[in-house]
Structure 1
């Protein structure tokens, strides 16, 4: 990698933040009141990649008139990504998060009933919540990670209404405990594992990769991050992961249009070799992302710990995109062949190329600009149907 490109990589996240502030607001887009769900992470910890806001007064009025909460719901996801059929029955999609949301199942029930999805309950065998040891006693509750938890189970519901959902809650957001929760999810029979968290890659993460994220025959997806073009995030940068970038999704004249979301993480790994199935010209190592989906303006029901904002909120971040794609993989019924992104690269005709938008400043290079063909912020593009999965 050239010195100039290394400088661009280090400046990418700052550029993305400036770009995000400079972009005008759009329908369903995060506003000045958007808050990161997990605002900080200590040494050796991951942070979740969701951000949320309460609906605006205009959105509240519209919701009252239409009986539809603000943001994109399951019908929008099905329409935009051409999800048809009734696949997913018998497939288990695992969600791995830190801490607990004690109202997650109650809010999931409200979400699914509001949008006409079939029930998914513990009693019915569709929903299961365990701690990182597989037991029923939850870890400490946390409102920030609570948003992430509510988002994840509801996003999987939106893209795969018939999938079973396994929520594994780690004791805390340390890399080790989160990794143990991933192993627990696999041990409990997960076909797909969704990881909406991460941290800057570092030398000893290579040990974490082999200890917690190498699972043959299990599809693992990971959010690419919410800091734009810059340092690659792990676990997304691990070659075993399907790294999911983010898009803005808008409907114009009856057609859906996707562009890159300004915060979508992208970068060139400093530690992980480029897989043989990934080929792009300006990064000799593993490049993030592989595919992309909505990261802006998803409807979530969360009534834990948000005070006067308890209820319907609007959530963004690549934390939305990862569980959406995880649900689509579950719906496709082909998870055992997606223990890396290889299959997706070999079936890229099933993706819609995302062109337009950027996540930082890199001289217009594909590593931070959504161009024709592969690019960093959106990877190969977004699913259109399930053939790529």
Structure 2
């Protein structure tokens, strides 16, 4: 940004510098592997997030690294002021003279618009041993500072909403984005803590007045002051106020933890790092940022490392994508396409902006991508391609083929002319009181608040919470859901990129339907998990701990229920035998069941219970949780299976390790010959985890010709055509001639563990005549793969009267294909027309997908 500026002169030698020395992580490739596993529903590490200490042990710079760097800094005359607990950042201070001498650089002042800034003439020169430890030195210039991403309405409110000062009220926002059912179910954020990243202070009285006006209850909040910052409202206090009040509207019961740091390059990094190392909040709202082009690659890399640790710990950052549309650097007299940081970081959820239109009661009407003019300046929701970050793997689905990171991910109302009713009297405002404010910095806390309510619902219902939410957000987009999770915004632009069907760089994948998102996440398949190893004893005593007062080996071939082995207790005088195994109960277990087979034998015909077999659940330390069963010699009756639902007994032990203990004790009677066989133990938990969803149609858009599609045309035509494609260049063109009969199909095999099947396609029906008679037909179907294959199901029938341009159909065909699981079947499309040559009936089929969710 200073490349074309001439220096004003040297920077004062006494100018104080507050620097942060960023150290390199260890085992970075292992960290990337871990993050991929945490987002993979098929991995044992899925949603298995790290604590800060676990992260430090595996990936953080070592104490030796810290000692090397701090010793060097002190030797050069720097004062070390702080060392982050993850060893990532070492803060140090010194005057310019010390930095020039230590790093062989010269500082100069520059006029940057209305500010005089300083910067060095070159990168710091460091000894090799120090350079090998460092990622970069932050704070050698003060060019980059964060700016709040909000706009106060300066135009007439159209239409006039109910909020004092104009703008949407909390009630209207909840109606529009379907948050009310969550709140009505008691999911208002109670018990959750949400984090706010801030660069200024706020006036508590403003937040209290807002919450009182809209009956939101008393705020629970605490401040975390970083690097000497204070909660003193300044020029950016309106941003903090906006964040806190929008979050109050969406999640009134949540505790707000406000992290306030100084608006310096070192202060920005330190504040993010404090949020991550504290790890006390899982949802974080960020309404501050700067043009990506204003930061160096190394500085963005440091922020990326901090957010990467947050992702590994299950934290989600929602960041405003900017208010300058596709030209994020426009405030610096640059009109190049650019995006905002940190929204462009792949470990951050970038939140763009829309114009929300609601009915008089606040119910959702429509939305367009936001762009316009405010105060003589062109504005709009930030979006575009990152120049630093490549395409993250989670960012997949229709329209997501760019090799670079695309922004935004999601959007919400940001237009100041359809803005938010806010109460603000602090800072340097000239219009204290009720005002209307917009900007993507209102959309980010709205999303963060919704995510907090959803987390409360998921945890309460024993479903894994969002964790690091990027993969979940895109999974809702790129796989069919029971409830539509997003409003797809298809009109408008952000000054350059146009909104359209599916993902676009004006609005991302859309705006939230909060209740639908929550239900889709909650309706993830419930999988049964065997908690024990070697439950049938067929690998001997492996995984079990045995005790026998007679010193016997308990695993025996004497009398198994199935297989070759069982556990054989007692059969000696004064016996006392036990076998135990520990098991971990998932934090999100919904149900736990236990069953086993028991064979009790005895040699006498006693009519009293003298010998016992008991089953206990114990803590990891051996303390009794409950005794499930007590049987005795009187219960001898061959092999018998016993089953128990132990969900309630173990409810408070979710997330802990427990013991399953089987014990047998016998008397001193030598003739009793009491013994017990135990076999086929089944200790299962039902845990909510996402199923594995796969798109099984190959060449779904016909862009690779006809393979592996199979074609038939009565007149011998090639069906793959460029005449009228929905996307790309090709589609399947059926009919278009008199007495036509064309089919196109593909053979697939559904897994036997299939739970859900959704067939989706776009079709265009055309004809030349106007008639009310259904003379020409289109079918989608499944049949067995043979020349005259038996039809399994007809999914849909349409005819010439349904002509209405391109239409998208999505059909749940799970039940229709239930009998065909594990077998090859053909998914096909058929068109048949009448003999009337004037109808010109035809059907185009494109973008066919078959999403199969299985265990």
The question of a shared fold, defined as TM-score above 0.5 by the shorter chain, is answered with yes
Report what 1:258 is aligned to: 367
Write 1 or 2 for the structure with the bigger share of helix.
Answer: 1
Q: How does 1:15-26 map to 2 (within 5 A)?
A: none
Shift of 1:328: 0.6
Q: Report whether the alignment pairs 1:106 with 2:205.
A: yes
Q: 1:58 to 1:77 in 2, by over 3 A?
A: closer
Match of 1:299 among 407, 418, 421: 421
- What do the CA deviations read for 1:331-366 (whole angstroms, capped 9, x no partner)? 1016953424110110134111112110123xxxxx
Report what 2:667 is aligned to: none
Shift of 1:92: 1.0
Report what 2:304 is aligned to: 209
RMSD: 2.6
CA distance in 1 between partners of 2:395 and 2:158 (Å): 44
CA distance in 2 between partners of 1:57 and 1:337 (Å): 36
**Gaps in structure 1 of 5+ consecutive residues:** 1-38, 121-125, 362-367
Shift of 1:178: 2.0
- 2:211 aligns to what SS in structure 1? helix
CA distance in 1 between partners of 2:175 and 2:318 (Å): 22
Q: Report whether the alignment pairs 1:91 with 2:192.
A: yes
Q: How does 1:189-338 map to 2 (within 5 A)?
A: 189-201=280-292, 202-204=296-298, 205-211=300-306, 214-215=309-310, 216-229=313-326, 230-252=337-359, 255-262=364-371, 263-279=380-396, 280-281=399-400, 283-296=402-415, 297-333=419-455, 337-338=466-467
- 1:347 aligns to what SS in structure 2? helix
Q: 1:57 to 1:351 in 2, by over 3 A?
A: closer
Match of 1:150 among 241, 250, 258: 241
Write 1 or 2 for the structure with the bigger share of strand.
Answer: 2
- What do the CA deviations read for 1:240-276 (whole angstroms, capped 9, x no partner)? 1111011111124764211111110001111112111
CA distance in 2 between partners of 1:54 and 1:300 (Å): 14
- 2:309 aligns to what SS in structure 1? coil
**Gaps in structure 2 of 5+ consecutive residues:** 1-113, 118-141, 327-336, 372-379, 459-463, 478-483, 519-855
Shift of 1:139: 5.3
- 1:130 aligns to what SS in structure 2? strand
CA distance in 1 between partners of 2:308 and 2:243 (Å): 19
Q: 1:336 to 1:160 in 2, by over 3 A?
A: same
Q: Say which is worse superposed, 92-101 or 175-184, in terms of deviation.
A: 175-184
Computing the radius of gyration from Cα coordinates, the structure with the larger value is 2
CA distance in 2 between partners of 1:301 and 1:372 (Å): 37
8 Å CA contact 1:50–1:318 kept in 2: the answer is yes
8 Å CA contact 1:247–1:258 kept in 2: the answer is yes
Shift of 1:281: 5.0
8 Å CA contact 2:175–2:364 kept in 1: the answer is no
Shift of 1:184: 2.3
Q: Report whether the alignment pairs 1:130 with 2:130.
A: no
**TM-score (norm. length: structure 1):** 0.78
Q: Say which is worse superposed, 159-168 or 178-187, in terms of deviation.
A: 178-187
Match of 2:485 among 350, 363, 382: 350
- 1:327 aligns to what SS in structure 2? helix
8 Å CA contact 1:217–1:336 kept in 2: the answer is no
Report what 1:33 is aligned to: none
- 1:151 aligns to what SS in structure 2? helix
- 2:517 aligns to what SS in structure 1? coil
Q: Say which is worse superposed, 254-263 or 155-164, in terms of deviation.
A: 254-263
Match of 2:272 among 164, 182, 187: 182
**TM-score (norm. length: structure 2):** 0.37
CA distance in 2 between partners of 1:336 and 1:76 (Å): 27
8 Å CA contact 2:282–2:467 kept in 1: the answer is no
8 Å CA contact 2:177–2:364 kept in 1: the answer is no
CA distance in 2 between partners of 1:127 and 1:211 (Å): 24
Greater relative contact order structure (CA < 8 Å, 6+ sep): 1
- 2:248 aligns to what SS in structure 1? helix
